[in-house]
Amino acid sequence: MKFLKLLVSFLVINFSALGIGSYLMNNGPKSEWYESLSKAPWTPEGWVFGAAWITIMVCFSIYMALLYSIRPTSNVKLLFTLQFLLNVGWNFIFFNQKLTILGLITIILLTVIVAAFLLTYLKDLKVKSVLILPYLIWLCIATSLNLYIVLYN
C-alpha cells in the first residue's frame, strides 16, 4: 500500500510538471520563433515528444516510488526538487524567453541531476534503475537538439 501511495503521488507531481512546463512554453514548438529556427536533422516529429514524455514520467514515477520507499532521505528530496525545477524551468527559459544558451545550461544541469540519481542509487535499486534510463536517454537527445539550435541560429 505504501508503494502504491508513493507511485500515485509521484505520478501526480511528475505529470503536473509536464502540465506546468507546457503552460510556460507560451505556444512553444508551434510558435513562429521556434518554427523559424534551424533545427537538427534528427529532430523528431512533434507527436514523439508527447509519447516520449508520457513514457518517461511513468517510468520515472515508478523509479521514484521505489527509491523513496527505501531511501526517503533529504538528498533524494533535494535531487527530486532540483529535477522538477529544472524540468519545468527549461520550458520557460527556452520557449517563452527564447534564451537558448541558458536553456542549454539548464538542460545540461537537468541531465547531470538525472545521471546523479542513476549513479547514486544504482546499488540500492539495481536492475530497477533501468526505469530512469528513458529519462536520461531523452535528455541526452534533447540536449543535442538544444545545442544544435545554439550553434546554428
Q: What is the 3-state secondary structure (H, E, C) of 81-130?
A: HHHHHHHHHHHHHHHHCCCHHHHHHHHHHHHHHHHHHHHHHHHHHHHHHH
pLDDT tens by residue, 18-71: 999 999 998 889 999 999 999 999 999 989 999 999 999 999 999 999 999 999
d(CA 57, CA 141): 16
For the structural domain made of 2-152, what CATH number should be given?
Answer: 1.20.1260.100
What is the per-residue burial (b if ≥16 Cβ within 10 Å, else e) of 10-24?
Answer: bbeebeebbebbeeb
Q: Report, as an integer, the average pLDDT of 108-132.
A: 98
Predicted confidence band of residue 13 (pLDDT cuts 50, 70, 90): very high
pLDDT tens by residue, 65-115: 999 999 999 999 999 999 999 999 999 999 999 999 999 999 999 999 999
Listed by start position, the domains of the chain span: 2-152
pTM of the model: 0.96
